[in-house]
Amino acid sequence: MVPDIPLNDGTTIPQLGFGTLNVPPERAPSEQNTAATAEIVGLALAGGYCHIDTAQMYGNEAGVGRAVAASGIPRDELYVTSKLGNGNHRPDDVRHSFAQTLDKLGLAELDLFLIHWPLPTLYDGDYVATWRAMTELVKDGRLRTQGVSNFQPDHLDRITSETGVVPAVNQIEVHPYFRNDAARAASAAHGIAVEAWSPLGQGAVLDDPVVGRIAAERQKTPAQVVLRWHIQHGHIVIPKSTRRERMEENISVFDFELSAEEMTAINALDKGADGRIGPNPDTFAWIP
Ligand code: A2P
């Protein structure tokens, strides 16, 4: 049902996955949170999601691993992404924390690992050494695909020119209120697939009258219209919901197509920098 799209390293990725930020609401890796995560991710897996997006900093990798193990889905039919925590940028910490990630997820090999934030104001601005350490994980055979998240055009230029290794994916904030054109265009210019986080603008764009009008005309929900807009832009999307009916709604976006006029109308909702919800990657410097 969910199409695979090709990446620049010869692999493919399911275009739609299940995001797990704030599943559950606390990041502490307690047994309670692990159980809650396992239950919600289990619902997603049972509902047809075969691509799960987690991160070291979400504190829920063990819960994702528990759901994956319980699902009985064959490993080669699952796609799992995690992301390097902001406290783990030193090359040794990349290696150690990646091993812990595999352990928590219960996997021998991870499909996709991303540098979560570039942190250009920390670690002497040396995200290149971090990127090189990720390359070693691929050479070791424990990681299939390496990518980045929240990388701005200059960050992409720098890692590719200094290492010769182009990320396969750049996971960035994108939704109709924040098209993030500069980062999307720079990613495309390098042949890097754009993955949209907070594809629904954390719910904000769902009340937009233009989205609402198109949804009513199409007999779809606002969330389906927005996710379809992403799909037609070629973005990988990872909507998150803790509710089973919304999970089902969000994955059911491959049976209709928005017209060029509808795409243009949604494109026009962009608010530029004012539409950004999350932190600015040039200045974000939070270490948990
Ligand atoms: P909930 O988990 O209660 O369903 P994003 O993926 O852009 O970060 O957005 C996630 C937010 O959007 C969550 O608050 C989630 O709430 C809500 N959400 C997810 N899917 C839908 C949907 N189909 N309709 C309405 N709200 C949704």
The string of pLDDT tens digits covering residues 175-209 is: 999 999 999 999 999 999 999 999 999 999 999 99
Tokens of 55: 């991160």
Å from CA of 202 to ligand 1 middle: 6
Q: Locate the ligand 1 atom nearest the alpha carbon of residue 19 and give its number.
A: 6
Atom 26 in ligand 1: residue holding the nearest Cα: 203
Ligand 1 neighbours (beta carbon < 6 A): 19, 198-203, 206, 221, 223, 239-243, 246, 249-250
Best residue for ligand 1 mutational test, from 227, 246, 252, 277 (most atoms within 8 Å of Cβ): 246
Tokens of 196: 């949209």
Q: Exposed, middle or buried: residue 137 (CB in 10 Å: 0-12, 13-18, 19+)?
A: buried
Best residue for ligand 1 mutational test, from 54, 200, 224 (most atoms within 8 Å of Cβ): 200
Band of the pLDDT at 26, cuts 50, 70, 90? confident
Å from CA of 174 to ligand 1 middle: 15
Please list the alpha-helical segments (H only) found in 50-199.
Answer: 61-71, 91-105, 127-140, 153-163, 181-189
What is the C-alpha separation between 26 and 229, in angstroms, rounded?
31
Q: Which residue has the tokens 């971090």?
A: 130
Band of the pLDDT at 24, cuts 50, 70, 90? confident
Which 8-state DSSP code applies to residue 8? T
The string of pLDDT tens digits covering residues 60-100 is: 999 999 999 999 999 999 999 999 999 999 999 999 999 99
Please give the positions annotated as active site: 58
Q: Which CATH architecture has domain 12-202?
A: Alpha-Beta Barrel (3.20)
The string of pLDDT tens digits covering residues 224-283 is: 999 999 999 999 999 999 999 999 999 999 999 999 999 999 999 999 999 999 999 999
Is the bond preceding residue 239 a cis peptide, omega within 30 degrees? Answer: no
Å from CA of 206 to ligand 1 middle: 9
Domain residue spans in the chain? 12-202
The verdict on pTM exceeding 0.95 is yes
Å from CA of 203 to ligand 1 middle: 5
Atom 11 in ligand 1: residue holding the nearest Cα: 202
pLDDT of residue 99: 98
Atom 9 in ligand 1: residue holding the nearest Cα: 202
- Mean pLDDT of the 31-58 span: 96
Best residue for ligand 1 mutational test, from 175, 195, 240 (most atoms within 8 Å of Cβ): 240
To which H or E segment does residue 28 belong? none
What is the C-alpha separation between 208 and 237, in angstroms, rounded?
20
pLDDT of residue 27: 80
The string of pLDDT tens digits covering residues 130-149 is: 999 999 999 999 999 999 99
Tokens of 275: 């539409």
**Does residue 29 register a pLDDT over 80?**
no
What is the C-alpha separation between 246 and 237, in angstroms, rounded?
15
**Does residue 28 register a pLDDT over 90?**
no
Nearest to 172 by CA among 278, 71, 101, 265: 278
What is the C-alpha separation between 114 and 158, in angstroms, rounded?
16
Q: How many helices (H) and strands (E) does the chain have?
A: 10, 10
Å from CA of 241 to ligand 1 middle: 5
- Mean pLDDT of the 208-231 span: 98
Q: Is 156 helix (H, G, I), strand (E, B) or coil?
A: helix
* 7 neighbors 145 (Cβ within 8 angstroms): yes
Q: Exposed, middle or buried: residue 77 (CB in 10 Å: 0-12, 13-18, 19+)?
A: exposed
